[in-house]
Amino acid sequence: VTILVNVTKDTKNITLHATSMDIDTKSTQIKEVYHNSNITKWSKILDQANDTARQFHIIKTGDTLKAGKQYTIHLKFVGYLNDYLEGFYRSSYTVGNQT
Q: Are strands 70-74 and 2-6 parallel, antiparallel or unpaired?
A: antiparallel
pLDDT, tens only, 37-75? 887 899 999 999 999 999 999 999 999 999 999 999 999
Q: What is the mean pLDDT of the chain?
A: 91
CATH code reported for the domain at 2-79: 2.60.40
